[in-house]
Structure 1
Amino acid sequence: MWNEWWIWVAAGIGLGILEVLVPGFLFLGFAIGAGVIGLLLAVGVALSMPQLLVTFGVVSLVSWLVLRRVVGLRQGQVKRVHHDINED
């Protein structure tokens, strides 16, 4: 079952939809990893179960790190409130 490309693509699409519902680029790295695995299996690359999981983990981690670097928290993006509007 895990060697079926469409299962990985469906999982990637599901994680992509979940990313839309939960902000913060939390699931997008996993969605990219699942999509890459689905693409590799669709092309015909034969991987064993441990190789699938390690490849999925590495691709997900790398894509998550790239996403954090590109669209993550920027310098000065966090706003600190020094004045409470309810104090006046």
Structure 2
Amino acid sequence: MWWSIWWVWIAAGFLIGGLEILAPGYIFLGFAIGAVVTGILLGLGVLSGGPALLVLTFAICSLVAWIALRRTMGVREGQVKVWDRDINDN
């Protein structure tokens, strides 16, 4: 089936990466990296199994990529504004 073809995972990763352009903020980039890594592992023959194993691999790779992106490019100091008074307070 389609889930066991390596280039489908890589193409899906690039499509998901294209969504990052429409919604910047590293929202979809972790999923894109997870799909590409899953495709590479499948293409190299490291993975061979059913869809449950592939989806689990995709989820774990996406989570690791998201955590790595969050640590390296996460919220920078000064990026979040904290309001200490309300405009309606007099």
Give the shorter-chain TM-score range.
0.7 to 0.9
Alpha-carbon distance in structure 2 between the residues aligned to 1:47 and 1:56? 13
How far residue 44 of structure 1 moved from its aligned partner, in angstroms, is 1.8
What's the counterpart of residue 34 of structure 1? 35
SS of 1:74's partner is coil
Pairwise CA RMSD: 1.6
Give the unaligned 5+ runs of structure 1.
none
Question: 4+ runs of 1 displaced by more than 6 Å?
Answer: none
| Alignment correspondent of 1:12 | 13
2:52 is aligned, of 19, 25, 50, to 50
Q: In structure 2, what residue type is equivalent to 1:40?
A: L
Structure 2 portions without partners, runs of 5+ = none
- The amino acid across from 2:9 in the alignment is W
Query: What is the CA distance between 1:41 and its match in structure 2?
Result: 1.3
My pick for the range that moved more, 69-78 or 12-21, is: 69-78
Sequence identity, in percent? 52
How far did 1:75 drift? 2.1
Aligned partners of 1:73 and 1:46: how far apart in 2?
A: 34
Q: 1:4 & 1:17 partners in 2: Cα distance?
A: 21
**TM-score using structure 1 length:** 0.84
